[in-house]
């Protein structure tokens, strides 16, 4: 239930507003002058404030300035019986959300309060999303093992070029993170990073997904559509699980890489594209080539640079660093206080068999954060995860 603070030296105004707003299911607090109102503002959190301008001891403009100086973030709506355009402009310039003249139009007052609270909700959601985006964009490859240091060195060397990269490794090991780091450290960083999970798209739709289609190309093609190659123009196209791509799609991808041109499904017009392709797979593509499931010429086009991401079981020394990273990032995402792992908890984590790799570790850390107290011990880890056999 939203809470409103009414600051006005006229008892009748406070009582009238209280009666109406309580009827509208708001929780109401009030103050009869500026100093009392400022004290309540700094001691409590309100969803919105209605503040009179002309008051004894401290007027509304002074209260507004002091409230903002003290970090009050709730929207403040100024009200006055002596209103004019100059006063309203001054109040809003100083940081008020809005200005309402007396006698109060109750409908307008309600609309203003609801709009103010909706804005706060939107701003809060925006801040949360920005934090999440910052976490994603600011993500680095976590680890100090020899294998991870070699990957970091490789990324530093390769990223500035336009060389195609094939990233190999088991599911959940961090192949996408390597691809993102290559993009973010390249000259294409300001252009799109477009991801395609080739294993998740039915074989009959993969060509349309990659190259787009013209209107009428097939039954459900009711309008023209750009594919991922066009969307990634100037940037990076990440083809995840490329070992699952159909043979016909492989042939078209090969042509796109050879000629830097594509054709939409149902079209005959060549469309130039400037795309850096980073591919990833959990399969042994050399074995797939021998079995006739993957084109050897495409493999050589994709694998100018090879980067192998090891499974987590091969870099157990990195588990504590990764656990700490997830404790921090999950706490930030959820807006909660960071929880701590005890020494035996770290040891317990290192004793597990990480068949799901880093993805499994992150899931376990999130589970522990939700289910455990502030300090997470080894027994907690053993309780909520399967120990290594």
- CB 279 within 8 Å of CB 253: no
Report the distance separating Cα 281 and Cα 365, nearest Å. 26
Residue 267, token pair as written in the block? 């079209």
Model confidence at 103: pLDDT above 70: yes
pLDDT in tens, 139-151: 478 999 999 999 9
Helix H or strand E encompassing 279: strand 276-281
- CB 237 within 8 Å of CB 280: no
Report the distance separating Cα 358 and Cα 387, nearest Å. 16
Instruction: Band the pLDDT of 44: cuts 50, 70, 90.
Output: confident
pLDDT of residue 134: 47
Q: β-strand 225-226 against 212-213: which pairing, if any?
A: antiparallel
- Sequence-distant (6+) residues with CB within 8 A of 292 are none
- CB 59 within 8 Å of CB 9: no
pLDDT in tens, 241-284: 999 998 988 999 999 999 999 989 888 888 999 999 999 999 99
Helix H or strand E encompassing 276: strand 276-281
Model confidence at 138: pLDDT above 50: no
Instruction: For residue 168, list its beta bridge partners.
Output: 281, 308
pLDDT in tens, 16-41: 999 999 999 899 999 999 999 999 98
pLDDT in tens, 323-380: 999 999 898 888 788 999 999 999 999 999 999 999 999 999 999 999 998 999 999 9
Report the distance separating Cα 109 and Cα 98, nearest Å. 10
Q: What end-to-end distance do the CA atoms of the chain give, in Å?
A: 51
- Sequence-distant (6+) residues with CB within 8 A of 257 are 164, 277, 298, 301, 302
- CB 235 within 8 Å of CB 193: yes
Opening angle at CA 343, ends 337 and 347, nearest 5: 115
pLDDT of residue 91: 86
pLDDT of residue 11: 92
Which ranges constitute the DSSP H helices of 73-167? Answer: 85-93, 106-137, 146-158
Q: Name the nearest CA neighbour of 196 among 300, 84, 275, 99.
A: 275
Which ranges constitute the DSSP H helices of 303-342? Answer: 319-334
Model confidence at 130: pLDDT above 60: no
DSSP 88-113: HHHHHHTT-SEEEESSP-HHHHHHHH
Model confidence at 123: pLDDT above 90: no
Helix (H, G, I), strand (E, B) or coil at 256: helix
Mean pLDDT for the chain overall: 89
pLDDT in tens, 55-102: 888 988 999 999 988 888 889 999 987 666 777 888 888 899 998 888
What CATH architecture does domain 3-134 belong to? Answer: 3-Layer(aba) Sandwich (3.40)
Q: How far, in Å, are 206, 217, 316 from residue 252 at the CA level?
A: 11, 17, 41
Instruction: For residue 166, list its beta bridge partners.
Output: 279, 306
User: What's the CATH superfamily of 146-310?
Assistant: P-loop containing nucleotide triphosphate hydrolases (3.40.50.300)
Instruction: Band the pLDDT of 286: cuts 50, 70, 90.
Output: very high
Question: Which contacts (CB < 8 Å, 24+ apart) does range 104-108 have?
Answer: 104/13, 104/17, 104/79, 106/20
Model confidence at 42: pLDDT above 50: yes
pLDDT of residue 129: 60
Model confidence at 136: pLDDT above 50: no
Report the distance separating Cα 387 and Cα 30, nearest Å. 58
Q: Does domain 313-384 have CATH number 1.25.40.10?
A: no
pLDDT of residue 126: 67
pLDDT in tens, 157-194: 999 999 999 999 999 999 999 999 999 999 999 999 99
pLDDT of residue 86: 79
- Only one residue has tokens 């490329």, namely 242
Intrachain domains 3-134 and 313-384 with the same fold: no
Report the distance separating Cα 176 and Cα 239, nearest Å. 10
Instruction: Band the pLDDT of 219: cuts 50, 70, 90.
Output: confident
Domain boundaries, the chain: 3-134, 146-310, 313-384
Section 299-328 average pLDDT: 95
Model confidence at 133: pLDDT above 70: no
Backbone angles phi, psi at 290, to 5 degrees: -60, -35
Q: How far, in Å, are 191, 312, 343 from residue 349 at the CA level?
A: 39, 11, 10
Instruction: Band the pLDDT of 216: cuts 50, 70, 90.
Output: confident
pLDDT of residue 297: 96
Model confidence at 389: pLDDT above 50: no
Report the distance separating Cα 384 and Cα 389, nearest Å. 15
Of residues 127 and 206, more confidence is placed in 206
């Amino acid at each position: 239930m939203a809470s409103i603070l009414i600051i006005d030296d006229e008892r009748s105004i406070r009582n009238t507003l209280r009666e109406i707003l309580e009827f509208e299911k708001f929780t109401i607090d009030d103050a009869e002058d500026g100093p009392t109102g400022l004290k309540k503002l700094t001691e409590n959190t309100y969803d919105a404030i209605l503040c009179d301008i002309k008051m004894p001891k401290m007027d509304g403009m002074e209260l507004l300035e002091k409230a903002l100086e003290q970090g009050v973030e709730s929207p403040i709506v100024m009200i006055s019986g002596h209103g004019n355009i100059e006063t309203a402009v001054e109040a809003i310039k100083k940081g008020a959300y809005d200005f309402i003249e007396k006698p109060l139009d109750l409908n307008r007052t309600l609309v203003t309060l609801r709009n103010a609270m909706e804005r706060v909700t939107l701003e809060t959601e925006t801040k949360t999303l920005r934090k999440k985006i910052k976490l994603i964009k600011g993500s680095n490859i976590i680890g100090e093992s020899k294998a991870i240091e070699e990957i970091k060195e490789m990324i530093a060397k390769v990223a500035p070029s336009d060389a195609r990269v094939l990233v190999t490794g088991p599911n959940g090991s961090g192949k996408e993170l390597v691809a993102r780091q290559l993009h973010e450290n390249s000259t294409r960083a300001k252009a799109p990073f477009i991801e395609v999970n080739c294993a998740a798209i039915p074989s009959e739709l993969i060509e349309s997904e990659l190259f787009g289609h013209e209107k009428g190309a097939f039954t459900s093609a009711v309008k023209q559509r750009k594919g991922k190659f066009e969307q990634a123009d100037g940037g990076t196209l990440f083809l995840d699980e490329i070992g699952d791509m159909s043979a016909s799609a492989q042939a078209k991808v090969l042509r796109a890489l050879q000629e830097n041109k594509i054709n939409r499904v149902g079209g005959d017009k060549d469309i130039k594209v400037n795309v850096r392709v980073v591919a990833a797979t959990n399969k042994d593509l050399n074995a797939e080539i021998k079995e006739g499931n993957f084109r050897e010429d495409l493999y050589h086009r994709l694998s100018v640079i090879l980067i192998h991401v090891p499974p987590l079981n091969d870099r157990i020394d990195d588990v504590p660093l990764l656990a700490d990273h997830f404790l921090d990032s999950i706490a930030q995402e959820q807006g909660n206080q960071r929880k701590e792992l005890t020494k035996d908890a770290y040891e317990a984590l290192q004793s597990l068999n990480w068949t799901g790799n880093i993805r499994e570790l992150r899931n376990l850390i999130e589970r522990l954060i939700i289910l455990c107290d502030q300090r997470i011990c080894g027994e907690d880890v053993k309780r909520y995860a399967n120990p290594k056999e």
